[in-house]
Amino acid sequence: MLPSWFLSWKRNFCLRLSDDPKKAASLSSMSCCLQISRLTSGDTRHIHFRLLSFKSKHLCSPSSPCHAVRHTELRVGQGTCGKRARRLRGAGAGSHGASLRVLWVTLTGTEGHWTEPRSREFLIPQEVMLGPGQQLFDFVACCLSEFLDAYPVGRQGLKIGFNFSFPCHQTGLDKSTLISWTKGFRCSGVEGQDVVQLLRDAIERQGACSIDVVAVVNDTVGTMMGCELGTAPCEVGLVVDTGTNACYMEEARHVAVLDEDRGRVCVSIEWGSFGDDGALGSVLTTFDRILDQESLNPGAQRFEKMIGGLYLGELVRQVLAHLAQHRILFGGCTSRALLSRGGILLEHVAEMEDASAGTARAHAILRDLGLNPGALDAQLVQHVCAAVCTRAAQLCAAALAAVLTRLQHSREQQMLRIAVATGGRVFEHHPRFLSVLQETVKLLAPECDVSFIPSVDGGGRGVAMVTAVAARLAAHRRLLEETLAPFRLNREQLAVVQAQMREAMVKGLQGEASSLRMLPTYVRATPDGSERGDFLALDLGGTNFRVLLVHVATGGVQITNQVYSIPECVAQGSGQQLFDHIVDCILDFQQKQGLSGQSLPLGFTFSFPCRQLGLDQGILLNWTKGFNASDCEGQDVVCLLREALGRKQAMELNVVAIVNDTVGTMMSCGYEDPHCEVGLIVGEEGPALLCPCCLMLIHVAGDLGHMCINMEWGAFGDDGSLDTLSTCFDASVDQASINPGKQRFEKMISGMYLGEIVRHILLHLTSLGVLFRGQQTQSLQTRDIFKTKFLSEIESDSLALRQVRAILEDLGLPLTSDDALMVLEVCQAVSQRAAQLCGAGVAAVVEKIRENRGLEELTVSVGVDGTLYKLHPHFSRLVAATVQELAPCCAVTFLQSEDGSGKGAALVTAVACRLAKQAQV
């Protein structure tokens, strides 16, 4: 158990310096009724460990009352600005108890050089401190305007830093919500509000709209940030003014709310509320309890009320009044001033405790209070002042030692060398406070080599430093927004894309010049559920070739398949060699499945550019995906397959259909949902998946009924219709591609290009100094290094920001604390535009179907495949939302395809067989 304050007084403060019996008797009597004194080492150690535990607990909690302020682009460990290439100016407003100070600070050169500030202090009337919040902020704005009117500094583009020294929850440099008033303030309508916005509103009411508040800090942060450089890094700020608080540089990984694992952030401890949970109950005196009950916030800020300068004079006054009423002081006489709150101020306490002139000042101050002190009375009053202030210094030291011990342990340093910036009127008016503080800190934290550095101009310089950084960050934010603005498409822009695509569809169907080719696929229907039988399917679209046996029955579709590799020498050899290899794989599969000698209907998924002349006729236009087999381009691939079968003297296969993977996707989903009449592929890798082809059933003149049309919409915009939406980054990607000026829509949507668009944006932002400290790295100069899969990973809701940083660091990018967040925004903007453009295209298709059928409302499903659509965390949702907005009369369901390239080919074959049988009947 902690010793009582009475025992502590008697043991430690009972007249070691006097042998005067009369004085000793008086002091002995005083010790019997006075319950306030210097703390013992046990007391301070107890408080030290309680506060250390309190801090550790709340730092690790996401609901922590410790409020983190990012230490962005400031030299960690120095607390000053790094090199600045241009002159920076900032004005700071800081609240100090019942006064407001406005400063004009100019930072110049490098390493935090600055000029002497111009400042003016305004007294805040009591009625403003206790009145409506709007009245307080109007007063601040008025003082700011008056200050600016007195100096020819101009107001255009002026950036303001706001020193607001009350407990706040800070979520950004310019966002800070007041938790509770302290220091005698009690303005209504402010707690729970963003004080920056309240000040901005007040400045606007003053008609000074060009002035912007870019940063809010408390006086502790300002004190630390403005610390002069010394031999040790300044990473702690300590203020003992009307109230008290401290801040320090914490490892970001220890602050739960930040989602960071690198670097450091400045944490404002807000330790004035320590003890509100009863932790200080055993060391509180009767006078502390009376002072608390008579305050504006009983039960709150208990630690601050034992240390802060607003309360030290009041504690002394209560002790003196108590001793006078017990006839120990002033012959038992009191006065109205002695019994009235505010009768003794911090300045009085400091003057009376002064070693040289303290006794004389005590006589003068006591007489001003209407008292008639004797010689012994003045000395006893001095001892009371010393006891109150010593306790305050020791309490403050115990708290500071907890901070230093945490830093020493978390950084695993045997001896922590660190500087503490100090500020506030208690330090300024009471020199002995610092000496007691230093002595106690040394006792409690012997593993810490601490130097104390007085603040420069009350933290004004530090506020200017933070303001300068905030102004730079605001400029970077503006450049980022300007860069990404063209990617943020509104409804009107998307509606134009939809209308342009519908117009291009009509022209393509009518055979007119159009960027949409609208090619017939000769697929005339989707599955109706009556299809039955066994079918073979071939899937050729890359270095692997699949052969499938698809059994379509009442219970659904069963698939057996085997994958065969196609060696590079075969893929790039002769056409005869390639198709002979394909036939060998088919024969091997038939033998293993017991199908030798059987001639099953076969569907061939051939995912290369073809011009179809019929359902079983496809002319290869050109090879892609690393294939370059000779004597194939311009030939019917079905004929090439049949010729290979003849060479192998194998049974003739019944090739019913040749399809691309997009048709297969629609057919695969159509088997599950008869409303599926549109197919869409948006992939990340391989040209077949990269080229989004949208298909639809549309009426064709004549006796053909309906037919699936391959839009080849990747070329949409090649006629210049997308130029208004194209950015310089799109142009760079297009010019570096193998087909400049072509497939413009594809290059704004598909996964092959999104990573490259992001890379070009990052290069641009780096050249502006917004990202990566302006350092152009070789990795970012490398084409295709930023894969589209990185967009999916970076935008994943399951990844923490620290994991995003890891992805970027693996690319060799020199990250700062905000770079990961900015890269995330770039990725979001690029992928969102892609998804919205894709959605606008789908909306054009479904609206066209609805109009063709003369329906007021259309229910339709879209079968979708492709890794970008399936793996990106938000792409599918954004596509669906855009379709819903642009085609409100269409109820569109998106279905993800399962094996569209294999199962879909078999189903195309099954539908063709069904239609053939129906035609025979």
- Residues annotated as catalytic are 546, 607, 661
Exposed, middle or buried: residue 86 (CB in 10 Å: 0-12, 13-18, 19+)?
exposed
CB proximity list for 256: less than 8 A, separation 6 or greater: 59, 60, 61, 62, 64
Region for 772 from its dihedrals, namely left if φ exceeds 0, alpha if ψ lies in -120 to 50, beta otherwise: left
Region for 720 from its dihedrals, namely left if φ exceeds 0, alpha if ψ lies in -120 to 50, beta otherwise: left
- Strand 533-540 and strand 118-123: the pairing is unpaired
- How far apart (Å, rounded) are the C-alpha atoms in residues 264 and 235? 10
- How far apart (Å, rounded) are the C-alpha atoms in residues 451 and 238? 12
Q: Where are the beta strands (DSSP E) in 207-361?
A: 212-217, 234-240, 244-251, 264-268
Q: What is the DSSP string of 386-437?
A: HHHHHHHHHHHHHHHHHHHHHHHHHTT-SSEEEEEEEESHHHHH-HHHHHHH
The type of residue at 865 is: D
Can you read off the two tokens belonging to residue 243? 């109230």
Dihedral, CA of residue 666, residue 667, residue 671 and residue 677, to nearest 10: 50
Query: Minimal CA–CA distance to 812: which of 769, 755, 761, 772?
Result: 772
Residue 72 carries which DSSP code?
A: T
- How far apart (Å, rounded) are the C-alpha atoms in residues 689 and 71? 45
Q: What is the DSSP string of 145-208?
A: HHHHHHTTT--TT-EEEEE--S-EEEEETTEEEE----TT---BT-TTSBHHHHHHHHHHHTT-
Region for 472 from its dihedrals, namely left if φ exceeds 0, alpha if ψ lies in -120 to 50, beta otherwise: alpha
Contact 470, 159 (CB under 8 A): yes
Report in angstroms the alpha-carbon separations of 921 from 726, 910, 915, 917.
54, 17, 10, 6
CB-based contacts of 811-816 (< 8 A; 24+ apart in sequence): 811/779, 811/780, 811/785, 811/786, 812/777, 812/778, 812/779, 813/772, 813/777, 813/779, 813/780, 814/772, 814/773, 814/775, 814/777, 815/772, 816/72, 816/73, 816/772, 816/773
Contact 660, 688 (CB under 8 A): yes
- How far apart (Å, rounded) are the C-alpha atoms in residues 403 and 837? 54
Q: How far apart are the first and last CA of the chain?
A: 102
449: three-class secondary structure by DSSP: strand
- How far apart (Å, rounded) are the C-alpha atoms in residues 100 and 202? 15
Residue with structure tokens 């450049």?
A: 479
Region for 495 from its dihedrals, namely left if φ exceeds 0, alpha if ψ lies in -120 to 50, beta otherwise: alpha
- How far apart (Å, rounded) are the C-alpha atoms in residues 246 and 811? 39
- Strand 890-896 and strand 244-251: the pairing is unpaired
Residues pairing with 69 in the sheet = 266
Say how many CA atoms lie within 13 Å of 894 toward its Cβ: 22
Hey, how many other C-beta atoms are within 10 angstroms of the C-beta on 233? 17
- How far apart (Å, rounded) are the C-alpha atoms in residues 258 and 261? 9
- How far apart (Å, rounded) are the C-alpha atoms in residues 314 and 541? 85
